[in-house]
């Protein structure tokens, strides 16, 4: 198992957000975590990274306990996050943002190969590489956010709401690219766009009020009455 969460709880200050969630991300798969606003999806990813501290439970990375490992060490171990809202470094150019992604020692040694890999994946970024990140369109910024995370050569990539604010055509292109990443790594995808996410997922979890309430293969979830009513609008 590339990543597994066991009975993970966390929150902010005294406010508990996650209540013992368990999920598994097998090697070379796309797993999605779906649910409404405020369910705790982003908190799950920030907790996995260690930026939000876990209260209870365990985080296993390739079978090894990484629950208390600080974020910068997690990146070295092969986790990367594409945060919600992109969170690029707006004053830096596209290429500088990418180089920031290769900050760890493990990533730096192969930075030229990885740069070629992400430019091949997103040719638009190569064209824009001297442009300031803050001046690009939403779709390009999302590409850059994903590419920047890939620069750390992750084994498990966490992606938070990549479809937010993007046109349907751009979302579908972006998701096709994410699907191709499966050959190289595992992806844990957080999405509110349930239909789009189910299309590329191997397995999905539904998070509501900090608890996993449903899980299954995409076709099972697509057929589920609750999912149909609450998320697919059919």
Partner 1 sequence: MRPYIPLGAYLALMALAFALPEYSKQIASIAFYMALGQAVNIFVGLTRYVNFGYAAFLGIGAYGLGAAILYMPQLGIATIPIGLALGMGLAALLALTVGAIALRLRGAYFAIATIGLNEGIKHLIIGANIWGGGAGLMLGSSMFKVYGRDLALFLANVGSAALILLTGLISVLAMYFIQAGRAGYALAAIRQDEDAAKVMGINPTRYKLLAFVTSAVLSGLLGAAFFSLGNMQVFPENVFFIDYILDGLAVMFLGGAGTVTGPIVGGLIYYGARYLVGIYLPGLQSLITSLIVFLVMLFLPNGIVGTLNRRSEGLRTWLP
- Interface residues with partner 1 (CB under 8 A) are 46, 49, 51, 70-72, 75-76, 80-81, 83, 87-92, 96, 99-101, 103-104, 107, 148-149, 152
Q: How far is the CB of 89 from partner 1 (least distance, A)?
A: 4
In the complex, least distance from residue 22 CB atom to partner 1, rounded to whole angstroms: 23
Closest to partner 1 by CB, 129 vs 228, is 129
Q: How far is the CB of 100 from partner 1 (least distance, A)?
A: 5
Least distance (Å) between residue 164 CB and partner 1: 16
Please count the other Cβ atoms lying within 10 Å of the Cβ belonging to residue 12.
Answer: 11
Instruction: Output the smallest distance, CB 34 to partner 1, in A.
Output: 22
**Cα separation of 108 and 117, whole Å?**
14
Q: Using the minimum distance from each CB to partner 1, give the nearer residue, 181 or 222.
A: 181
Q: Could you give the CA distance from residue 49 to residue 121 in angstroms, rounded to a whole number?
A: 25
By beta-carbon proximity to partner 1, the closer residue of 62 and 208 is: 62
Minimum CB distance to partner 1 smaller for 26 or for 70: 70
> Which distant-in-sequence residues (6+ apart) come within 8 Å of 38 by Cβ?
none
Q: Which is nearer to partner 1, 159 or 227 (CB)?
A: 159
Distance from C-alpha of 13 to C-alpha of 73, rounded to nearest angstrom: 23
Contacts of 41 (CB under 8 A, 6+ apart): 33, 34, 35, 160, 161, 190, 207
Whole-Å CA distances, 43 to 104, 119, 160, 223, 226 = 24, 30, 10, 28, 23
């Amino acid at each position: 198992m590339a990543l597994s969460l066991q009975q993970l709880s966390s929150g902010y200050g005294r406010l508990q957000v996650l209540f013992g969630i368990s999920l598994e991300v097998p090697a070379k798969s796309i797993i999605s975590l779906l649910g409404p606003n405020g369910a705790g999806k982003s908190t799950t990813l920030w907790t996995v990274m260690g930026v939000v501290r876990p209260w209870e439970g365990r985080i296993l990375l390739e079978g090894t306990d990484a629950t208390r490992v600080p974020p910068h060490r997690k990146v070295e171990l092969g986790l990367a996050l594409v945060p919600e809202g992109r969170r690029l470094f707006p004053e830096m150019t596209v290429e500088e943002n990418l180089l920031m992604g290769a900050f760890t020692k493990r990533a730096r040694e192969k930075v030229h190969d990885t740069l070629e890999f992400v430019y091949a994946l997103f040719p638009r970024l190569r064209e824009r590489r001297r442009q300031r990140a803050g001046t690009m369109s939403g779709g390009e910024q999302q590409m850059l956010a994903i590419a920047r995370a890939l620069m750390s050569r992750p084994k498990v990539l966490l992606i938070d709401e990549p479809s937010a604010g993007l046109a349907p055509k751009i979302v579908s292109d972006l998701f096709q690219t994410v699907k191709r990443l499966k050959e190289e790594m595992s992806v844990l995808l957080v999405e509110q766009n349930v239909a789009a996410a189910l299309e590329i997922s191997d397995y999905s979890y539904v998070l509501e009020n900090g608890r996993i309430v449903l899980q299954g293969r995409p076709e099972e979830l697509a057929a589920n009455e609750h999912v149909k009513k609450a998320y697919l609008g059919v």
